[in-house]
Structure formats: C-alpha cells, structure tokens
A and B are shown apart, each in its own frame.
Chain A
Amino acid sequence: DAGVIQSPRHEVTEMGQEVTLRCKPISGHDYLFWYRQTMMRGLELLIYFNNNVPIDDSGMPEDRFSAKMPNASFSTLKIQPSEPRDSAVYFCASSLERSGHGELFFGEGSRLTVL
C-alpha cells in the first residue's frame, strides 16, 4: 500500500480564500484523523471519523472549518474563509479499528500558508 496520501503538499493562499485539503487513507483502515501542527500548540486533533462517520469534532477550532468523508477512501478538510492564523501543517492519519497498539499512520502533511 502507498500509505496515507495527502494533497496538496504545499498551499499558499490569501486571507479570505477557501482552502480544501484532501486525504486518502490506507485501504482497510476504519479510522481517519485530521491533525494540525504548529510551533505554538504542537499537534492538535481536529476531528476523527470511524467508518466514514464523524465521531469527535470537538477540536475543530471554528465554524470556518469543516470536514467530510464521503466514502472509505477519501476525506476533505475545508477552511472557508481562511485566515493567517490558520497557517500550519495539516496531517491526515488512519488506523485499523481498535488495533492493539493503536498505531496511527500519518500522511506527509499539507503545509498551508495564509497571507
């Protein structure tokens, strides 16, 4: 398997624009997670899905953020409108259902810069 695939790897946009980040989890993994990484706050869990259903979105910072998982092989994280403080690296990760050691498999991340 190719691992968790994220796109784009880098995105530079202007304040107010809509940003869509994409993720393809590892085939067969039932859990999908979106994380945000910044120097100040470290790695924050934004939302996670189980079998395509959002389970916990308590980490989503504001209504400007939304995430969907229309099928088992695709998820999006959308920011509309974007703001400079949204600049961060966004990671998608997937895992098997209740795997014994809870290993998360991370994508390479999408680095977002909002000017």
Chain B
Amino acid sequence: GEDVEQSLFLSVREGDSSVINCTYTDSSSTYLYWYKQEPGAGLQLLTYIFSNMDMKQDQRLTVLLNKKDKHLSLRIADTQTGDSAIYFCAGAAMNRDDKIIFGKGTRLHILP
C-alpha cells in the first residue's frame, strides 16, 4: 500500500522561504496534495498537482514533483507568522479507488 513520509518539524525565520519535503511509495499515485492544518481546526486543501506535471506555482506557493524519485516538495516564499501550521502531504491513486493517504504532517514553526 501507499506510504507517505515527511519530516515532523521545520523552523524558519519570518521572511525566509520554507521548503517542506515528502516522499511517497506508490508510483501509480495520480494526484498529490498539500493540506494545511491550523491549531484547533481541520485540514484545508492548499494546493495539488497531477502526476503528469513537475511544477505548479500559486502565488507564494511552489510545488515540485520528481516522479522518478517519488519526491514532492512545497515551497512557501516570504514565510509569514500566519503560515505557522501543520502541513500534510497526501496522495491518491486510481488503483486504490482514489483513497487519499496522508503523511504524518510537518509542523512549521516561524521564528521572529
């Protein structure tokens, strides 16, 4: 089955770029997602990328996908205090009936 791995913590200074990394095992994953969870709240979809793409940019967010290495990253430019949250990498595959498998999440801490 699918396994999604990501580091648990990341500290970044305000104004710097944050890069959150993720690796996955199922090469048939068709959609890959980044969700954000703020304290005391549920997860919200931040952005997603199809497996036939290698990059997607959306304002301060850049997603890079390396299919060969099964590596996904999320870059947040000009990190702000409001970006402090847990970021979840997730993947879905048609051979799993599109069931979405989540990583354990990376807690992003912003330093002043």
- Taking Cβ atoms with an 8 Å cutoff, the residues of A that contact B are 4, 41-43, 45, 48, 55-56, 91, 93, 98, 101-104, 106-109
Interface residues on chain B, size class: 20 to 34
Cα separation A76 to B97 with both chains bound (whole Å) = 23
Q: Which of chain B's residues 90-112 have a Cβ closer than 8 Å to chain A?
A: 92, 97-105
Which of A45, A56, A101, A102 has the most chain B CB within a 10 Å cutoff? A102
Q: Which residues of A contact B24 (CB under 8 A)?
A: none
B49 to chain A, nearest CB (A): 9
Cα separation A11 to B15 with both chains bound (whole Å) = 39
A59 to chain B, nearest CB (A): 10
Knowing A91-B42, A108-B41, the reply to whether A98 touches B98 (Cβ < 8 A) is yes
Q: Which residues of B contact A41 (CB under 8 A)?
A: 104
Cross-chain contact B88 with A104 (CB below 8 angstroms): no
Residue of B nearest to A59 (CB): B99
Knowing A43-B88, A43-B102, the reply to whether A106 touches B97 (Cβ < 8 A) is no
Cross-chain contact B40 with A106 (CB below 8 angstroms): no
Which one of B33, B40, B45, B97 lies within 8 Å of A55 (CB-CB)? B97
A-B residue pairs in contact (CB < 8 Å), sample of 7: A43-B43, A43-B104, A101-B45, A102-B33, A102-B100, A106-B42, A109-B41
Cross-chain contact B97 with A56 (CB below 8 angstroms): yes
